[in-house]
Amino acid sequence: MTRQFFAFTIIVGAATAIAADAERLKDAELVLTEMAGAGDAGIPTNLLQKAKCVVVVPSLKKLALGIGGQYGRGYVSCRRDGGWSAPGAIRVEGGSFGLQIGGSATDVILLVMNERGMDKLLSNQFKVGADAAVAAGPVGREASAQTDITMRAEMLAWSRSRGVYAGIALQGSTLRQDSGENKELFGREISNREIVTGKVPVPAVALAFVKALSKY
């Protein structure tokens, strides 16, 4: 009876984790579609077409009561063989101090524009703004007016809260691979570098997300 209970618990836990992955991937697909498909009010298509990798973090949570913090989970995919790789899972963590109170949820997209930025992104962890040059990405037609910024930056970031674009929500945060979620998605321990640079099949649950990326 006890063995049956533990087996049942493991099965339920695995099913719950897969369901959470599917929901988060669906949210990431929606964020990408909305923020990149808004024409002159969204992320410039030409920048997406130049990006080496794309990071999508749906609903980055920020909470503050004197000491602030933020936490989120998302996915990274990189170009390979004329298409996009399977998504690797990431975690976003950060903190801040000072007089602050409140909470918010922010959608974030990060474009990695060159090989150097890609290498930093795929390291064990990196801190936004400290380990890589990150600039606030222009919206719509502003892209042509900020060519110099986009040429120099290793990464470009967009954040959207309640439909309004804001500054770099990830500034000062640490990004690291989410090993637990990668294991759920691929059935084994695998690094983000292996996922996005190797010939790893796209899991069925992530097909819609990669299809949304394939438009760019």
* H helix count then E strand count, the chain: 7, 8
- With beta carbons less than 8 A apart as the criterion, state whether 195 and 186 touch: yes
Number of domains forming the structure of the chain: 1
Give pLDDT tens digits for 78-135.
998 889 999 999 999 885 544 444 457 889 999 999 998 999 889 877 887 677 778 8
Cβ atoms of 88 and 75 closer than 8 Å: yes
Give residue 68's domain range. 2-213
CA distance 81 to 85: 9
Inter-residue contact 148 to 156 (CB < 8 Å): no
In Å, how far from its chain's centre is CA 84?
A: 14
pTM for this model (two decimals)? 0.82
